[in-house]
Homo-oligomer: A and B are copies of this chain.
Amino acid sequence: MGEFELIRRYFRSAALEKAGPQAAIIQSIGDDAALLQPALGQQLVISTDSLVEGVHFPLDYLPADLGYRALAVAVSDLAAMAATPLAFTLALTLPAVREDWLAGFAEGLAAAAADHRISLIGGDTTRGPLNLGLTVFGQVAAGQALRRAGAAAGDLLCVGGPLGDAGAGLALVQSQAAPPALDPAGRDYLLQRFWRPRAQCGLGMALAGVASAGLDISDGLLADAGHLAAASGVAVHIRAADLPCSAAVACWPEPQRLNWMLGAGDDYVLLFSLPARHRARLEADGWWLRVIGEVAAGEGVWLDQGQGPERVSALPGYQHFKES
């Protein structure tokens, strides 16, 4: 089967091309390039991610889960900017054409596209070691994007969901021993949280013009808090006792649980600084948010484990090439 036929068969479907709002899409797949036109007064938000087998995802996976996860993780950067998803492109490098693999991958990709209301508008297919490149596009009103800079002393530090699920989910994927207290429903929950994360786009949009700064937790809470602190020129204080976790993660004893909440990446929940006056309205609108600390004058990330704040010196967030 030729490259073009391959693309047509698996990626040219309404489930992928019409998953999101169509107004901004002037030209989709089929020409040398795609054409987008953001609505008047809106800016285009753009993020690129690449995923490599064995680095970003375990070797033992279902193609459908991989398709879902790849897109959801990329869309999370749109949520982190308070953007509404519009469209994405896919650069797919594959060692060989395996139809069962492609069918599964396209199915998972379409499920994530539907869940996040985002349409496939272009791509490229190549032979080589498995590599997924996704570029996602969203729009946000001019001046309303949620940046890493902008947090001010006195703001509340908040997260938009439980922490540590992806760390525990990865442990299960890697067949590490689970605590006896973890029941099958908890196990399924964690595997879903790892393989099928939901980008917090709704919350992100609700934070546009409301939160003072924010990002998504992809490197781990401490590392990402460090990014926010550095970009904003402030200190960030975190209280370990206030970190939220799911009932499933709570099955693990300390220090494993805390380590995952602080250091495991891939949770893709939003971390943001919020002027205190906005808290009540967000909660009244039904948003789950947990205050885990405060922004203060100074610099760095400070963690209070019950003995007062201590500066976190070595941020354990995941870095590629760290060992070199």
A-to-B contact residues, CB < 8 Å: 1-4, 6, 26-27, 30-38, 43-56, 77-78, 80-81, 83, 89-94, 96-97, 121-129, 131, 133, 135-138, 140, 142, 145, 147-149, 215-216, 231, 319-322, 324
Contacts and interface: CB of A to CB of B under 8 A. Distances in A.
Given A38-B38, A135-B135, A123 B55 contact: no
Contact of A44 (B44, B51, B93): B44
Contact of A32 (B54, B89, B126, B216): B216
Contacts of A31: 81, 147-149, 215, 231
Of A52, A145, A321, chain B has the most CB atoms within 10 Å of the CB of A321
Identical copies of this chain, number: 2
A89 B48 contact: yes
A154 to B, nearest CB: 23
Nearest to A143: B26
Contacts of A91: 48-50, 91, 133, 135
Contact of A52 (B46, B128, B216): B128
Of A78, A90, A137, chain B has the most CB atoms within 10 Å of the CB of A137
A76 B75 CA distance: 27
Contact of A77 (B33, B136, B149): B33
A137 to B, nearest CB: 7
Given A44-B38, A47-B122, A126-B55, A32 B77 contact: yes
Contacts of A30: 148, 231
A6 B321 contact: yes
A129 B129 CA distance: 7
A35 B38 CA distance: 12
B131 A35 contact: no
A45 B32 CA distance: 9
Nearest to A324: B97
Contact of A46 (B89, B92, B138, B140): B89
Of A33, A45, A92, chain B has the most CB atoms within 10 Å of the CB of A33
Contact of A47 (B3, B33, B81): B33
A319 B50 contact: no
B44 A324 contact: no
A204 to B, nearest CB: 10
Nearest to A46: B34
A317 B47 CA distance: 32
A221 to B, nearest CB: 15
Nearest to A129: B129
Contact of A33 (B3, B35, B45, B89): B45
Contact of A125 (B56, B123, B320): B320
A134 to B, nearest CB: 9
A51 B131 CA distance: 11
Contact of A324 (B1, B37, B123): B1
Nearest to A122: B48
A30 B77 CA distance: 12
Of A127, A136, A140, chain B has the most CB atoms within 10 Å of the CB of A127
